Structure 1
């Protein structure tokens, strides 16, 4: 609207999501214009991507500019000069004040005529008008929908945009990709708009009143919209009037449905047949489409033109020899807009096909649709077909078949069973967002007991992965009630997931109650998977109660049963058992096997869970690089599959890894990223991990009292003591208590840890127990015996970083006992390891001890195998692939400052001066630190 006092177009802007980068880029352009160096940019993106909202925000960010907004209009696209006429009408007074030549050209436009002098005088006159306005106040002109501007107007504005170097003005255009505006605006910088991320989309939907991210409606909207702001807004606004069992759709009068309806109405009958076949058949091989079109009465010679017409209308996509309707939202809208009779005809044509290329599972779906969805034979055939697809490792396709089949059946129990089973398949495939919507569409009454049990299992699992674990536990316990009589794999899953929910929430009383129930359910004829689960509960509950001999027997049986049980989930459970036993190598092998097996079966949701134990066991094996790689991969997969609770687990592990190296910046960043979810969802397990990580950092930075306070908070907490993590953290608690003079507390914690370490016979844990004894020992002789035994065990376990810490503690004791010569040898070794593992705070402590022992800390020691650390190699490789520091920071969950710090060290060590030189060095594949380079990728015992 016009502000008469300022003669400027004033915009009003609401919240803008996911456009910080683009907004900052344009803000830089505006800042340059403010200093007299003008410029322009073209925002090129699909309709509905938020171009207009971005222009609103840009205008609101420039309150000191004179802002002009014009937009192209489809009805005037062929009226030459129409766009300039709309721009100049409010500026008629300014035009009248221009020199005669320029005034005359622009007055012709105001009079409704295209200037006879041609485009060059017109562009020069428009530039003169802009410069005149900018002398009083910097100018920002925003041109929306530039693709609908007439050719004369868009060329004149492009002419001006390329000549702003000395004018305090900025021009921002927004246009469709590959439109005629692109030619007129050639030479301008181009800014694209990516789809919104799930997190950004969730915030937008929440602001529309559709509930928080993680709610059924919100997740379904985010999934359907695929990052389109317009789709998010229209779906969100329509959600309030939607019936529970109805599909999620934009309102019929909205822009999206109207556009879809118009495109469909503009098609010829032959093109509508092509769209109906593509909609019914999912991705259809072109040969199948041709055969089905012939069966539907479409002449072969007209098929190519019909397909081209449907493609031009953007209702079908072609590629790789297939034809499909692109995107779930468009498929949903077409299902609502295309008459039911046309859809049934398409299914009949596809059901009649018997030749090569016809999909047997899809044939069952077509026959069901053609039969009206009531006959028992097509129903049984469809269920068998979905099961066969699931068995081949494609649960997402099985879900798609069942979802579409549910639309064709009027039988309530069948519909409920199919939608709930489809939800379970989507969940297994790692596609969490549609799950709650599928459960909401399934009839809540009338289903069988097994359907109700599966519903509870799916509700519990999705809450476990992306909700509140305490609520997940209640759903899963009720699922156990449904499956208790069946004694099959579903009972095993329900029990184990319920146990995981109680542990994640920190509810160990709840875990003990489940363990007692599992003990009562045991029978002699239980299948291997169920026996594994019962032994797992027996072993873990005994571990939590410090009955270690009993625990070892049960957990050993779990590991042995893993092979007989088969499948990725039993392998994950067995990996946890092996880790608890202290057999880190077996735990690592089982976790790797589980991740690989889950990927082969299409059960992508299980991979991040397997990577938790892969990271933990690598940490126990003292392979920091492998542990960090597994946790980073798990973090990315957990986020991409919508499993935020598992993402928090991996963030907490990454924070602990950084804390053990003394990297405060990385610890702070990772803990901050996890803090909100830990508090909001009451995640006891990662909360305890985060306390442990913070305490480790306090110890590195010589704040033992702060560390001890954190350990006590972890034990007292808002809920129950986290028995598992308290036991794992005991060596660090002992270190903090000894340094604070709380020897009785240290001795008490050590007794429990030593019992666990002795029962497991794991060298790493036994080494830590001996180190704790060395810290606590009253006599020098006893201390020396324990420290020497700890170092021997560290060497047997190949644990370099923990060995260096033991050498540091031992050397400190030797120096205080007036034995500096013996201390110096240990300190030199420790310093070399700390420098190799890029742990500056530990290296500083070792160097200080070495100076106190009468020696000087030498120069940095380079690793034997390579000149760089594993972290530096990862960063250098990403630089070589063209990643920016910010992109590297986001990928590795570091701060930009930390990335810059690592790069400075890389430049110094390799003698390079630029990113280009570094990229040249990393042009060939670089060996990646991890399981294959065990000698150089060591880490800490847990």
Structure 2
């Protein structure tokens, strides 16, 4: 029985009871070595009667074996993997080496784990136990943490024991933590009396309690040999791990050298008894040494495993061995491993290598390639790095460091990626290696929010690679333009675009269709940002991308190009298709970028509900995956939607979160949207003077940056605000250059807004022409909010010209659209204008849909669209029970009880 842990036991009992009732979750148990974390987990397993128990203990020996921990955790239920949706089943089975397959997305593996565990919980509650979590291989840890974050309404409880609660990924796996404190003196004394082989005299008891400092393992170890107890040095009490290490070391010294060699084999073989037995036979060692070690309390032997009593015992065994003995043991274990265990054999041979060894390096590199295919990029990075160190050729060493850096970047380990890429360049500074290194470095910097660094690295890399690797140079210049777009760095974007055009004109990249297509889109983006005509190259690029296999299209570029075109049709449909493909494939890591762009697209149509939900999901995933640039941009986009709906609190909350990010200064595009949103908020609320100041400030700021893209300009809103404030005479200096820019761009969306500006400033007798032209141009776009704004100001001008009957037509159109979009503040303005024409129109209250959280709204939209609960769960990487949990809240808030009513409520509500 456990002593002194009654409070901890009660807390876990409450979690077990909640999980049994379908309210799951996770708990991270922290504390020093020997404090009793494992014992508490063992106690929880004993108390969880009727639960399906899945358990794994991390080990140092398997830390670099991809998904080794996950394979052990799921070993009792691997037969259920085939019941998962096909993409998840494929990803998970491939990751666990249950089948061969193409490279899988590491997040798809995580999604598969979640779905598997949730499906198990539909039969009986599940208890997941993860001990020594810091020793798990990184891919397994990430997959388990991903699952922990999504446990809400499933009969699943996951208990994780870890020393350092701030270590990734466990620091973000769950907000629930419990730190085990040292035992109280009375409990420690009871434990000492119970654990002592013979009674302790008072002096020995006092020394045990002083030295152990309430650490249960230290108490048990110290009372085994009370004769060797000595008092602590004054003012320098020994650390508990030191006390334990000394205790274990002393017990090891009682064994014969040949017996210690058997323990070393067990430590190297990760406790696999069959492998230990074969290693002992190969080295003429007596396997019965394990019994003698077991008698000393150093380990426990079962039918298949050798389990050391504590990780410190294994550490003591390994540390006590000479370097030569370690290498020799690794070599023997490698030789006796089963034929199919290639990864483990390669790692052992690499540990046995005395220096560079080309053959071993090849084996370890193969481990890295297999790990990458299974989505275990962190392990792949380690393998490629080890292979690089073992390489005998400088060129090969550089190639392997490059692969390691690429894998580290894919794993989200950007700092480590930079170190590895630098190593690659030290060994081979050739242009091709430099180009690949710079591309990885630059894209990683951009993803992490370091856009200035990304721009500089990519631009310099493109220049260096132009002659030797023109295709890679095009990619780098294109990515540099994308970074400049977020930075609103017009000169940087133009320089990169000029360089692209020089390369394209040289005609040396025609065989790289993907690079050419992406570069064409980038050129158009840069030209538009600078106020030029960039539609033609974007259209060429989008058309070329549409002809390429999906695997050849760099993530997001087809989406970006389509959105820049602001057109309906096949090109724009690529946006939604890309998102659906990402969901179907379980490519969770690509979703923040796609969701951000799809939400931006929805926000410029009549799909504002979908835009808010999409931004909410992008924010959640980007925060989870550390994609700072997409997080900042999505928060800004959400603020923009909330402002137009007049939801002040939500808008300002998103603004505050975005501006608190470290990347806020770099993501100027997001800042532009934020400032636009704040100004819109004031204008919709009737705070005209403040709105004028805000819009004028944004306009001046964009001009200072050299941004001449008319679609980013708030001049139409500024002119409207000036007219509302009776200051239309101040509008002309803003309007004239804006109208010129719109004509130069020549797109319907820009031209419609320009025509509205002319209508606002036209003499009262000449308003019909420009407004009619604006509405005709709007008909070629999908942005219904812009149409409504034109109807509103047209109606306002007609009413002031005493043409009330004509005004009502346009004001009613505006009002209906504002109501449909949920633009409450603008609906109020339209209502007031209609009433001023002599009608009596009542204000409509906002519907209850506005009370839904982003997650609830996302689920409601998917289910109302006809998806089943399981389909919605798969799309959002949640469990079906969690979807049902949120759906109950949706029903309660909307006052409905069926999915048919849900679809109707969403249709009727903005």
1:516 aligned residue:
498
Distance, in Å, in 2 between the alignment partners of 1:491 and 1:254 is 56
> Partner residue of 1:754?
742
d(CA) in 1 for partners of 2:905 and 2:539?
29
From 629, 643, 651, the equivalent of 2:635 is 651
Of 424, 446, 449 in structure 1, the residue corresponding to residue 406 of structure 2 is: 424
Q: Does 2:544 align with 1:561?
A: yes
Secondary structure of the residue aligned to 1:723 is coil
Could you tell me how far apart the structure 2 residues matched to 1:144 and 1:484 are? 59
- Cα deviation, 1:65-117, whole Å, max 9, x if unaligned, reads xxxxxxxxxxxxxxxxxxxxxxxxxxxxxxxxxxxxxxxxxxxxxxxxxxxxx
Distance change in 2, residues 1:351/1:754 (3 Å) = same
1 CA distance for matches of 2:823 and 2:263? 65
How is 1:360-509 mapped onto 2 (pairs within 5 angstroms)? 360=342, 363-372=345-354, 374-387=356-369, 389-391=371-373, 393-406=375-388, 417-432=399-414, 434-436=416-418, 438=420, 442=423, 445-449=426-430, 450-487=432-469, 490-509=472-491
**Which residue in the other structure is 1:667 paired with?**
651
Q: 1:877 to 1:392 in 2, by over 3 A?
A: closer
Q: 1:310 aligns to what SS in structure 2?
A: strand
Consecutive unaligned residues in structure 2, runs of 5 or more: 1-10, 12-26, 36-178, 192-212, 218-237, 253-258, 292-299, 861-886
Return closer, same or farther for 1:682/1:874 CA change in 2, 3 Å cut-off: closer
> 1:276 aligns to what?
268
Aligned: 1:918 with 2:892: yes
* Bigger shift: residues 495-504 or 345-354: 345-354
Residues 350 and 687 of structure 1, relative CA distance in 2, 3 Å threshold: farther
Contact 2:759 2:767 in 1 (8 A): yes
**Does 2:842 align with 1:858?**
yes
Which whole-Å deviations, capped at 9, do the CAs of 1:487-542 have from their partners, x for residues lacking one? 36543432222222333333211221112222222215341022113322432233
CA contact (8 A) 1:734 1:772 kept: yes
For residues 692 and 349 of structure 2, the distance between their equivalents in structure 1, rounded to whole angstroms, comes to 68
Distance 1:915 1:288, change over 3 A: same
Deviates more, 1:392-401 or 1:574-583: 392-401
| Cα deviation code 1:614-651 (max 9, x no counterpart) | 22222223322222233222222322222323321111
Q: Is the 8 A contact 1:820 1:853 kept in 2?
A: yes
Q: 1:835 to 1:277 in 2, by over 3 A?
A: farther
Equivalent pair of 1:413/1:448 in contact (CA under 8 Å): no
Shift of 1:878: 9.2
1:387 positional shift = 3.7
Tell me the CA shift for residue 47 of structure 1.
0.4
- 8 Å contact kept, 1:372–1:408: no
**Contact persistence 1:814–1:820 (CA under 8 A):** yes
Give the 3 Å change call, closer, same or farther, for CA 491–778 of structure 1 in structure 2.
same
Map of 2:762 onto structure 1:
777
Asked if the contact 2:31/2:181 (under 8 Å) is kept, the reply is no
Q: In the alignment, does 2:512 pair up with 1:538? A: no
Q: CA deviation at 1:559?
A: 0.5
Q: Would the alpha carbon gap of residues 768 and 438 (structure 1) be closer, same or farther in structure 2, given more than 3 Å must change?
A: same
**1:532–1:557 contact (8 Å) kept in structure 2:** yes
Is the alpha carbon distance of 1:291 and 1:872 closer, same or farther for their aligned partners in structure 2, counting shifts above 3 Å?
same
Which of 673, 690, 700 in structure 2 is aligned with 1:689?
A: 673
Change (3 A) 1:808 1:177: farther
The CA deviation string for residues 375-423 of structure 1, in whole angstroms up to 9 with x for no partner, is: 3233344435534543565534422422444565687776555344323
Distance 2:398 2:828 in 1: 64
Q: What is the Cα deviation at residue 710 of structure 1?
A: 3.2
More deviation in 731-740 or 786-795?
786-795
Task: Give unmatched runs, 5+ long, in structure 1.
Answer: 1-21, 23-42, 52-142, 156-174, 180-252, 317-324, 880-911
1:132 aligned residue: none
1:426-455 CA deviation, whole Å, 9 max, x = no partner? 222334464356567x47733342444444
Q: Could you tell me how far apart the structure 2 residues matched to 1:352 and 1:287 are? A: 13
Indicate the residue corresponding to 1:848 in structure 2: 832
Query: For the structure 1 residues 510 and 799, does the alpha-carbon distance in structure 2 shift closer, same or farther, using more than 3 Å as the test?
Result: closer
Aligned to 1:147: 183
**Superposition map of 1:199-214 within 5 A:** none
Is the 1:392–1:601 Cα contact (8 Å) retained in structure 2? no
Q: Distance in 2 between the 1:857 and 1:293 partners?
A: 91
Tell me: CA distance 1:489–1:726, structure 2 relative to 1, closer, same or farther (3 Å).
same
The answer on whether the counterparts of 2:521 and 2:539 sit within 8 Å (CA) in structure 1 is: no
Counterparts of 1:231-270 in structure 2, within 5 Å, are none
Mapped partners of 2:246, 2:767: distance in 1: 82
Give the superposed CA RMSD: 5.1
The alignment's TM-score, normalised by the length of structure 1, stands at: 0.58
Matches within 5 A, 1:712-723: 712-717=696-701, 720-723=705-708
Cα offset, 1:679, TM superposition = 7.8
Structure 2 counterpart SS, 1:145: coil
Distance 1:727 1:921, change over 3 A: closer
User: Are 1:617 and 2:653 an aligned pair?
Assistant: no
C-alpha deviations, 1:658-705, integer Å up to 9, x for none?
Answer: 122222222222222222447874433222222222222232123444
Cα distance between partner residues in 2 of 1:869 and 1:845 = 20
Contact between 1:465 and 1:643, CA under 8 Å: does it hold in 2? yes
Change (3 A) 1:862 1:937: closer
Cross-structure match for 1:249 = none
8 A Cα contact 1:433 1:642, kept in partner = no
Q: 1:292 to 1:471 in 2, by over 3 A?
A: same
CA separation of 1:696 and 1:392: change in aligned 2, threshold 3 A: same
Distance 1:679 1:348 in 2: 48
Counterpart residue number, 1:576: 560
TM-fit CA distance, 1:578: 1.9
Question: Residues 148-193 of structure 1: CA distance to partner in whole angstroms, max 9, x if unpaired?
Answer: 54349999xxxxxxxxxxxxxxxxxxx99999xxxxxxxxxxxxxx
